Homo-oligomer: A and B are copies of this chain.
């Protein structure tokens, strides 16, 4: 397993996601101060375009330099303020989700197993171990 490559790919995906979040923030701010520009930026920022954060910024700088710089500033700020909490949040989140999946799966398979004897109660009683033997 090439962990270095996984880390690099993950960092790139994360940078693009933070660029997307920055765009959402700037669109929200503009919708208060300059609604037509908010609509323009929203239309410009299609899902396909924003998938690659760097190509998106490059294109935006050509179309509207001020918005490009503004989004770059916001994402730098997000990268600093949000990422420091991520290792703890993601590790704990995955651990808890895994635990919950295991619990649900156990519950499901146990119910399946229980449903077999319960459909025939006599067999179920017969198949119980004879505990009296333990004391002898």
Contact = CB atoms under 8 A, between A and B. Distances in A.
Contacts of A84: 87
Nearest to A57: B101
A90 interface: yes
A52 to B, nearest CB: 11
Contacts of A15: 90, 93-94, 97
Interface of A is mostly: helix
Interface residues of A, number: 52
Interface string A1-27: 101001111111111011001000100
Given A68-B105, A101-B68, A105-B61, A7 B93 contact: no
A89 B90 CA distance: 16
Given A1-B25, A61-B105, A95-B76, A90 B18 contact: yes
